[in-house]
Structure 1
Amino acid sequence: MHDIRLIRDNPEEFDARLARRGAEPVAATILALDEERRALTTRLQELQSRRNEASKAIGKAMGQGDKDTAEALKAEVAEIKAEMPQVEEREKALGEKLRHALAVIPNIPADDVPEGADEAGNVEIASWGTKAAFDFEPKEHADIAPALGMDFETGAKLSGARFTFLRGHMARLHRALGQFMIDHQTQQHGYTECAPPVLVRDEAMYGTDKLPKFAEDSFQTSDGRWLIPTSEVSLTASVMGAICDESALPMRLTALTQCFRSEAGAAGKDTRGFIRQHQFEKCELVSIVKPEDSEAEHERMLKAAQSVLEALGLPYRTMLLCTGDMGFGARKTYDLEVWLPGQGAYREISSCSNTGDFQARRMNARYRPEGAKKTEFLHTLNGSGLAVGRTLVAVIENFQRADGSVLVPDALAPYMGGVSVLEPQS
């Protein structure tokens, strides 16, 4: 959500900054709605003031025996009382219309975000690791994993496309990855482990910019709650409506949860394999900080996500997303893309975004600087540390062997109960 005062103060600059994302100008529309709503607010205040004045004058006229004046004033008050609900209703409707118009405007990109229309404009800023050299033709995970316990057929039979049933050591490796990630982020990077709800109300989804724009990408229950597309929603919305003490900042929260996405905008993409599922696990990172700390926190969060890939020995590259490829609520985003030798390509495995005060304004999440009376909006950041299913895919493809087995990365040994290799089952 944007501060409407910024649009009022410099509408041309706002539209120019928004244009960097390829968005159409909106300032004129917003200001027209704002002006109309403010005019109604003024009219309502005038009516309330005149009603109070006339009511007092009625008593005075009656006391002076001036019945004609008193009756005229009573008629005026009656007219005012009849008009006020109409003005209030119009003001409320316009306020809601203005609120919706502001809610669908994406965040403004940071000054150092590169220009670009789509992912082709993203900039590689770093890479890590050496790609494995195989003495055989590496396969994609979808060709290796079924013999190891990744059962696509049963998942589809139970729930339809984009669901998978994991068995045996494959299920254990998946669990080990999630446990390793949550332990790594809490023990090595100071995040506080949380176990939040995976069902949330509209307010939590709206506050974290998932509504109204991305309603079709999420699942909703029959009682109106939403299955979270990421625990960013639950973790970030935990400060919804709050006024935090400065001493409580920064808050660094992490959770390993199930996530649910309808993938409505991904028709035809990654239909084969375990890359894009309707139900998946993710270790999420959320930071809630003072405005002056958010840029440094963004770099810190990026390193926390990178360190998981490095601990697992998975080659990756770090991309700075361009203006046309960033998420709706982000002002700056780094993507981590892991190398998948079976595909011969890098694939996204984590996004780390700084949203500035965009989400905090939607949630009315603030803090009070020490010694100050006035509150300020918080800054919120979120990132994957990491997506468990995609990490499992990366492990399978990078640690595959010619016989179809897969080595378990050393970092996962404490979680695997002595299992060091996943062997194909006949």
Structure 2
Amino acid sequence: MSIETSRVSFPGADGDTLAARLDLPVGKSRGYALFAHCFTCSKDIAAARQIAGGLAAQGLAVLRFDFTGLGHSEGEFANTTFASNIQDLVAAADWMRGEGMAPALLIGHSLGGAAVLSAASHIPEVKGIATIGAPADPEHVVHNFGADLDVIERDGEADVSLAGRSFRIRKSFIDDLKTHDLEERVGNLKRDLLIFHAPLDMTVGIENAGRIFAAAKHPKSFVSLDKADHLLTRAADADYVASVIAAWAGRLVPEEAPLQIAAREGEVVVAHLGEGKFPQTILAAGHRLRADEPRNVGGDNSGPAPYDFLLAGLGACTNMTLSLYAERKGWHIDRLETRLRHSKIHADDCSSCETQAGKIDKISREIIIEGPLDAEQRQKLLEIADKCPVHRTLHSEIRIETEMVDAA
């Protein structure tokens, strides 16, 4: 399944604008997930991109965002705490709910895993939580500060180098970490829990997964990420996580079995199968197609719009007719392309139209032909374009007979 990724933003807990990306399947989403990135990382880290993209490809929409002061989000990282991260997650869920996409799944990587475990009780729609390399105690991140920890305790803050970048860490951040009893919250989750951890994780040891698993009540599952590192830098590891989450989520946000439709010989069937406001399933000549409307008019953009199909029919017929005529004449064409647009124009702007009032439909058609053709041959092909069967149908009197029949 193909996916679409769009940039969105929403206000964080303290009013700063948080930058996010929404990874959507093309078509109806069978569920929605909220992803929290690792400590001092961003929504665009490779693992976050791949996991979100992999889930979207399997029908689950994912919102991934930058916490306050990180990535493209506003605010000062130095002013944040673990508690403010939790509040940012709740703000993200609030935004999703307002867009009709309340998250059924929370996914957190490293400290983001600890954050989703803490935030779950504040997001009522959540049915399952997946953690990846999460610490059993948020205070675990303090070991990353090394000798700077003494400076922070003494001076109240310090610039700490993490993964080659400098971050200002304040004592309020460390003090806040000490107030969170994650294992107690895990014990009261009352949601499905899926724990991923790498036995060779040198950043957050595998014993953390054991503590989280022991604290959690069923249903709970553990998946060992053999040979993976903490950041899932191997694409195969991130892809595996996405595939397991998608399968696990199938029980929590089950995909409805599609209604079955069939077409008789010579018949085109268009059916609305309840997949959203506009999407239509089309059966034609043994092919299954899809029609929809663009997002700016309330559709999901999961397929061409009805007028797009009309233009496609005319364009295909034009090219076929020109190709057959050129072949019959022995004319060689290297490349043939027809571009079409549909619009509405005022009748009084068209001097050659019979209709003199209101608006009329206008189809603009551009034909591109590459090959060893002279001006006379090109002019003849231009005339032949108007003789394609679909063109003639559109210009002739059309009668459409409609009746209501019982479902068979």
TM-score (normalised: structure 2): 0.26
More helix per residue: 1
Greater RCO, 1 or 2 (C-alpha within 8 Å, sep 6+): 1
TM-score (normalised: structure 1): 0.25
More strand per residue: 2
